[in-house]
A and B are shown apart, each in its own frame.
Chain A
Amino acid sequence: MNRLRLWLLAVGGAGLAALLVAACLDLPGFGGRHHPYGDRAVQASLARHTANTISSVNFDQRAYDTLGEMSILFAAVLGCVVLLRQARDEHRAPPEPAEVARPVRRYALLVLPVALVTGLYVVAHGQLSPGGGFQGGVVAATALHLLYLGADYGALERVRPLGVYETSDAVAVCAYLVLGLASVLAGTAFLANTLLPYGTFNTLSSGGAVPLLNAAVGMEVASAVVVLLAHFLDQAVEIEEEHGS
């Protein structure tokens, strides 16, 4: 049985490898000059005063795709919440606080605000310099978990009312939708970036609706990651099975 499976894998893998190599040899060469979509995307981004072209593609030219990405994230978090809920045959046992060496504890408490501010900075400058809602949101959410790493789980639970994060997750997705619908009400296409003035190139308020959509994504990602990690942490640290069941 196992030998048969390995043989099947070897044959399939060899076939796939041959096809992939043939495809690679026929792809346009690495580092070529011909990028028609890229050139047009850069022009469109500059016409709308967005300095970071990737943000412009994500939140302006392909904003509808980002809505899909957001709903995937939202649905995945929902799935994790359902899968990792406390079952009937389980109970919660608050963990004993861990002994953390003092320098580590101090470092965690010192870096936590720095990392939060960095996350906000990355979100806020999404339309100018590299960064954006997703990156900044993950950084801010990870920063919060320094409390678990550097102190103990109880400290994290005190600053993390889960309901607030679940609500803000949903609110952020709704905000994105409302911004899209606003442009429909104004008489253009869904999520078309024509409602707001484009502003001065390379300032925080440039790019029309891009900064707003960016902020909505940042809020969604940050709260989604917090909710996700909360359920994993609950499972790993607090929830225990009843013995003898």
Chain B
Amino acid sequence: MSTVMHVLPYLVAAYVFLTGCYGLATSRNLVHAVGCLAVCQCATYVLLLAVGYRDGATAPVFSDIAPGSRPVVDPVVQALTLTDIVVGATVTALLLALVLQIAKRHGTVDPDELRELRG
């Protein structure tokens, strides 16, 4: 159990990332592709937080516990993940705006049809 437990979160992160990549590559709709990219981003959150986890520890937030009374998890990766989520959300918004612009200019959101239009 314990050896599996030591790598399981990382493997789940890798699996989620690869699944998102598969969806991204085989997508027939650009809006769906943006959703798949969001799934890829989820993998990075899981990986970062898994690196910072400590068994039996709690969050390094001392509003309701005394400092030093319990072991705490790594706050640095949590701050990184927070930035990651913000950037992920803005990337999603910007890409969706681009998709809308493509739909307007070319009349389709299918990447294959778009390639044919290009000639």
Taking CB atoms, residues of chain B closer than 8 Å to A73 are: 86, 90
CB distance from A129 to the nearest CB of B (A): 4
Given that A31-B53, A51-B61, A83-B98 are known contacts, is A228 also in contact with B93, CB under 8 Å in the complex?
yes
Q: Mark B79-113, 1 if CB is under 8 A from A, else 0.
A: 10011001100110110111011001000000000
Contact of B54 among A32, A72, A77, A228 (CB under 8 A): A32
* Residues of A within 8 A of B (CB-CB), count: 59
A33 touches B79 (CB 8 A): no
Decide yes or no: A42 and B60 within 8 Å by CB, A20-B14, A20-B17, A33-B54 being known contacts. Answer: yes
- How many residues on B have C-beta within 8 angstroms of the other chain's C-beta atoms? 50
Q: Which residues of A contact B96 (CB under 8 A)?
A: 232
Please provide the chain B residues from 1 to 48 with a CB less than 8 Å away from any CB of chain A in the complex: 5-11, 13-14, 17-18, 21-22, 25-26
A155 beta carbon closer than 8 Å to chain B: no
What are 9 A-B contacts defined by CB distance under 8 Å?
A: A21-B14, A24-B13, A33-B55, A45-B60, A46-B62, A56-B75, A57-B79, A72-B86, A84-B97
Within 8 A of B (CB), among A8-24: 9, 13, 16-17, 20-21, 23-24
